[in-house]
Structure 1
Amino acid sequence: MTDVDEAPGWDAIDAVLAALYPGIEPHHVGYHPPRGFVGGALQGCSAYPAEGHWHYVTYGLSELYQPQSEDDPEWSGWGFELTLRVPRKPDDDQAPGWPFAMLQELAKYVNNNQVLLKPGHRIDLRQPITGHPHLPDAPATELTVYALTMDPQLGQIGTPNGDLIFLQVVGVTADEKETMLASTTADILAKLAERNPLLVTYPDRRAATP
């Protein structure tokens, strides 16, 4: 394997996921165009069958391969990867397709607009966060905003290419966004976490805040 082929950042993500999900094979997808082509965003995304939900984790917003000399040694690429959790029935063995598509769209938003996302930020899609009705398997939903927080299980890790945070995107309603603006994103997500500690995004959920 040459230096170009080595992927120490990718390996670091794999390692933390293997520790969280030992012996579990994820459902993985790759994206096109491939690495290095204009317009590309993610290299891939894995969905792990967790207890009661699917746990999606992206590859490509951090530096997966050998860094360039001008890259910041403290942070890997953008310094984060995205995660998303959606409900899963006990007998489900096929991860829904819409989260793979929506995470790619969010990654394109980051790359095209040079947006450095952090916990507490929000992305207002002004349309269903599932991609409904444009994506084939996307459920209808009242959730139109993604709120960002640190993934409660993956957190922040160090890699040979620098640190990265796993930023979990959590679907919320327009009303919940307005409440976040009046208080903080963290306050509203903390209230949601009282009944939903891992902040699984349930498309059929209605607003939980006044």
Structure 2
Amino acid sequence: MMVLDAPLWQKLEEEARKFYENAGSSHRLDHVKRVIALAEHIAQKEGADVDVVKVAALFHDIGRQKEKETQGKICHAAYGAEKVKEILAKYNLPQDFIERVSGAIRCHRFRSNERPKTLEAMVLFDADKLDALGAVGIGRAFLFAGEVGARLHNPEVDLEKTRPYSREDTAWREFKLKLSKIKDQMLTSEGKRLARERYRFMEEFFERLHKEVSGEM
């Protein structure tokens, strides 16, 4: 197993940082750092290669800006998987290591048709999705809603008839139409456990929000 020493990790962080500077608030470096911590935890629990997982987590969203610039024509996961090969090759890392990192990034996307096959790819997938759940998930949902100018809450609306990036694209809509499905998509045992716990917290939060918005004391 290859060991990432501190100097190399610092250089890789510097490489990754520039890709996240102009990313949306929900996918900046703070998101990446949380995913790294989650991925490292799950990797240790599941027996995955921690170094592969950490590097994949560090670079997993470097294609976000390119996807935004092309209005979705370029998939950020596919772009990032190729770009990371160029970056890691500069540091004379083993080709097998680079390919494993690239492969994990390529299939980390929730909407991707490519499903994770290696344990390291499964760990990255789960870690990335977990950051959309729990207290952090609630915070990110409201942060995104604010970015698109959405309302605070809209439980009276038929969410199935609403549009994304609209006034009705609230945190509640994000939870009901997307985030509530994440717990059933997890791939590792530890990921599933953490997802169930975080999901329960979100359910309790939105139940309380319903009551407060409706005027219940």
After TM superposition, the score normalised by the length of structure 2 is 0.31
Larger Rg: 2
Identify, as 1 or 2, the structure richer in helix: 2
Question: Greater relative contact order (Cα 8 A, min sep 6): structure 1 or 2?
Answer: 1
